[in-house]
A and B are shown apart, each in its own frame.
Chain A
Amino acid sequence: MLWLWILLAAAALLLIFGVLGYNRLVRLRNEVDTGWANIDVQLQRRADLIPNLVEAVRAYAAHERAVFEDVTRARAALQGAQTPGAAADANDGLSGALGRLFAVAEAYPELRASENFLELQEDLTDTEDKISAARRYYNATVNRFNTGVQSIPWVLIAKPLGFNAREFFSALGDTAPPDVSFAPAP
């Protein structure tokens, strides 16, 4: 009789462990999705600012067509990006194109002094800061989720259950954030 009880207890424990672990993975995955949605909002906001910016510069430097086309193309690439990695690359591409646009703007003191242009520039800087803030959160959630699905025993069954490791939104210069959580000192 005893072995039956032991077997039952073991099965119950396994079930509890499985349910808790599964729920944890679901929670971690939802955090990743939220994190990605946050980045997406900011990327969209950045893309929305571009047409106005291009128009503002075009009013003073209509002949710099190549630069405008570059920026417009980079913007389209960003909006068409399907994966976090591709979006990060497209976002970097847009930064490069914008850099050239601002270099053009440098040559026109009236443009640089115009209220509209200054405001757009400020909004753009702000959006870039927010993208990098959202990236930190997103990458942290990806880090936790990936650690979850890649550790034993979940690495064996995560894939069949539909938990695939996610891609980091990595821009130049930094990758996964370091794990700085520590236990409080006594």
Chain B
Amino acid sequence: MTLQEQIRANRLRSFIVVFGFVVLLLVLGGIVGLALDISLGVFALVIALAYGIFGLVRARSLVSRLTHAEDLHPEAAKPLRRLVENVSIAAGLPVTPEVRIVDDAAPNAYAAGLRPTKSYVGVTTGLLATMPQRELEAVLAHEVAHIRNRDTYLMTIATVFAGVIALVADIGFRSLAYGGGRGRRGGNVLVLVLAIVGLLLAPYAALLLRLSLSRRREFLADATSAEILNDPEAMALALRRLEADPTRVRYADASTAHLWVESPTDRVETDRQGVMALSGLFNTHPSIDARVAALEEAGGFRLPEVLPAAYEPFGREHGLV
């Protein structure tokens, strides 16, 4: 796929996602309205709409706040900025994204923002303290790839919509619990049961939609990183090094987990098998093994069992951490 085809495919998918979410939302509003009260259904939809618009407008700074990311001091981080500039140029981005720092010992990184010209890359201080330049560049290229491929755009929309659906379902449950649906409760048990099932399932449907989007994208971004740097091994090495580090990002939960280069939440799940492998459905990322294997196959190399130990982390080298 060329850059433009990839972007167009993502635009189309974004449209489908938005459409899917709108349908899901209308069905949910309809359930609330039918089972409980028409005005309550309308009320829930209006709230959802307002929340959605607010979320989209504020998404950038919201993500920044959620992850505790801070602006970079311009002088102190010149070397880091230069790295980001270089990978952006190699990726063909029109504008170099800003860099923000998350003060956290766990090595990780993410990208956020609706438009490529107004996006930023967040890196943890842990990443700077762990990665040598070559691998740091690969991680940055992975994030820049997300921006270039319009993944950040799609994921931001998906995140906001998932939040909206959770909100509407919540409103429905609360009014159910606090005596909503006056006068209908006795007669229409079937509608009530359907409503409860619908309200229960909707957030999971939204979550699944969001996660299925995110996982394929990781493979793509890994591949793009390898292509941008002409160095698939660097990305694979970086992934192994991320995996080897046991610390986890502090300010990461279900709402932002899919943004990071390595999943901050579902690492434990990756070893499960059989029935438990089903829980892989709810992983935000494919396993590191699968991602490294894909890179190895594309690049025609094998990573050594043991990572090269002697190296100087980029952050040390340039006095950033």
A117 to chain B, nearest CB (A): 18
Which residues from chain A contact B86 at a C-beta distance below 8 Å?
A: 129-130, 133
Contacts A144-B2, A177-B230 given: A182-B294 contact, CB under 8 Å? yes
Do B297 and A35 touch (CB < 8 A)?
A: no
Q: Which of A70-95 contact B (CB under 8 A)?
A: none
Number of residues from A at the complex interface, CB < 8 A: 25
Task: Categorize the interface residue count of chain B.
Answer: 20 to 34
Nearest neighbor of A148 in chain B, beta-carbon distance: B2
Contacts A137-B89, A137-B90 given: A31-B2 contact, CB under 8 Å? yes
Do A133 and B1 touch (CB < 8 A)?
A: no
Which residues from chain B contact A129 at a C-beta distance below 8 Å?
A: 82, 86
Do A184 and B82 touch (CB < 8 A)?
A: no
* CB-contact partner of B3 in A31, A126, A178, under 8 A: A31
Contacts A38-B89, A182-B223 given: A136-B3 contact, CB under 8 Å? no
Nearest neighbor of B8 in chain A, beta-carbon distance: A27
Bound-state CA distance A70–B66 (Å) is 56
Most buried by B among A129, A134, A144, A184: A184
Contacts A31-B92, A129-B86 given: A185-B286 contact, CB under 8 Å? yes
Do A141 and B85 touch (CB < 8 A)?
A: no
Q: Per DSSP, are chain B's interface residues mostly helix, strand or loop, or mixed?
A: helix
Which residues from chain B contact A137 at a C-beta distance below 8 Å?
A: 89-92, 228
Chain A 98-130 against B: per-residue CB contact (8 Å), 1 yes, 0 no? Answer: 000000000000000000000000000010011
Bound-state CA distance A129–B89 (Å) is 10
Contacts A31-B92, A134-B90 given: A180-B85 contact, CB under 8 Å? no
**B190 contacts chain A at the CB level, 8 A cutoff:** no
Which residues from chain B contact A31 at a C-beta distance below 8 Å?
A: 2-4, 92
**B219 contacts chain A at the CB level, 8 A cutoff:** yes
Do A178 and B92 touch (CB < 8 A)?
A: no
Do B286 and A133 touch (CB < 8 A)?
A: no
Q: Which of B236-279 contact A (CB under 8 A)?
A: none
Most buried by A among B4, B87, B297: B4
Chain B 268-305 against A: per-residue CB contact (8 Å), 1 yes, 0 no? Answer: 00000000000000000010001001100111000000
Do B92 and A35 touch (CB < 8 A)?
A: yes
A126 to chain B, nearest CB (A): 6
**A149 contacts chain B at the CB level, 8 A cutoff:** no
B155 to chain A, nearest CB (A): 16
Do A184 and B3 touch (CB < 8 A)?
A: no
* CB-contact partner of A181 in B4, B89, B223, B293, under 8 A: B223
Contacts A126-B82, A185-B219 given: A180-B90 contact, CB under 8 Å? no
B175 to chain A, nearest CB (A): 42
**A140 contacts chain B at the CB level, 8 A cutoff:** yes
Q: Which 7 A-B pairs have the closest CB atoms?
A: A184-B219, A133-B90, A133-B89, A133-B86, A137-B92, A182-B298, A136-B90
29 A-B contact pairs sorted by A residue (CB < 8 Å) = A27-B2, A28-B2, A31-B92, A34-B92, A38-B92, A130-B85, A133-B86, A134-B90, A136-B90, A136-B229, A136-B230, A137-B89, A137-B90, A137-B91, A137-B92, A137-B228, A140-B227, A144-B2, A177-B227, A180-B223, A180-B298, A181-B224, A182-B223, A182-B294, A182-B297, A184-B219, A184-B220, A185-B286, A185-B290
Other A-B pairs beyond A42-B89, A182-B298, A185-B290, 15, CB < 8 Å: A27-B2, A27-B4, A129-B86, A130-B86, A133-B89, A136-B90, A136-B228, A136-B230, A137-B91, A174-B230, A177-B227, A180-B299, A182-B219, A182-B223, A182-B297
